[in-house]
Amino acid sequence: MISQIFTVIHPQGFHARPSKSFAEKAHSFPCQVTLYKGDKQANGKSPLGLLTLGISAGDEIRLEVDGEQEGQAFQELGRMLTQIYEE
């Protein structure tokens, strides 16, 4: 299992499109992907899960990956948490 905190910088937070891109990418890995914000958690493979987590710019989000291909998943998903998306 790998786990680390990232700070989200996308100005509008994770709304429909970033959540979709993230969940799609998470879906392509066999490992479990979980995101934590404070005491709330969400399945990283569900865009709705990500939306209901309510991720805003500046939020500190813990990414936890567990299982097969977790190393690569961690790399790619960590980058997606800290990237800026086209509006």
Partner 1 sequence: MSHLLTGVPASPGIAIAKAYRLDMDESIPPRKEIEDRAAEIQRLKEAVESAKADIDRIRIQTLERLGSQKAEIFEAHLFLLDDPELTDAALARIESEGVCAEFALYEVAAAIMDALRSMDNEMLRERAADVEDITRRVISKLEGREHHALSELSNEAILFAKDLTPSDTAQLNMDYVRGFVTEIGSHTSHSAIMARSLELAAVVGAGTDASHIRTGDTVILDATSGKIIVNPSPNQMEDYSERKRKYEEDVSRMKSYIDRPSLTADGVQVELAGNIGGIDDLEKVLANGADGIGLFRTEFLYMGRSTFPSEEEQYSVYKHVLEKMNGKRVVIRTLDIGGDKELSYMQLPQEMNPFLGLRAIRLCLDREELFRTQLRALLRASAHGKLGIMFPMISILSELREAKRILDEERVRLVQQGVVVSSEFEIGIMIETPAAALAADLLAQEVDFFSIGTNDLIQYTMAADRMNESVSYLYQPHHPVILRIIQLVIQAADRHGKWVGMCGEMAGDASAIPLLLGFGLHEFSMSASSVLPARELLSRLSRQEWSRLAVQTLNMSSQSEVLDFVNDQLRSEAKL
Q: Which residues are catalytically annotated?
A: 15
What distance in Å separates the CA atoms of residue 6 and residue 45, rounded to the nearest whole number? 18
* Minimum separation from the CB atom of position 70 to partner 1 (A): 20
Q: Tell me if 87 contacts partner 1 by CB under 8 A.
A: yes
Give the residue, chosen from 29, 31, 44, 45, that forms a contact with partner 1 under the rule CB under 8 A. Answer: 45
Residue 58 within binding range of partner 1, rule CB under 8 A: yes
Q: Is 75 in the site for partner 1 (CB under 8 A)?
A: no
- The stretch among 28-36, 39-47, 63-71 that binds partner 1 (CB under 8 A) is 39-47
Q: How far is the CB of 52 from partner 1 (least distance, A)?
A: 4
- How would you write the chain as a 3-class SS string? CEEEEEECCCCCCCCHHHHHHHHHHHHCCCCEEEEEECCEEEECCCHHHHHHHCCCCCCEEEEEEECCCHHHHHHHHHHHHCCCCCC
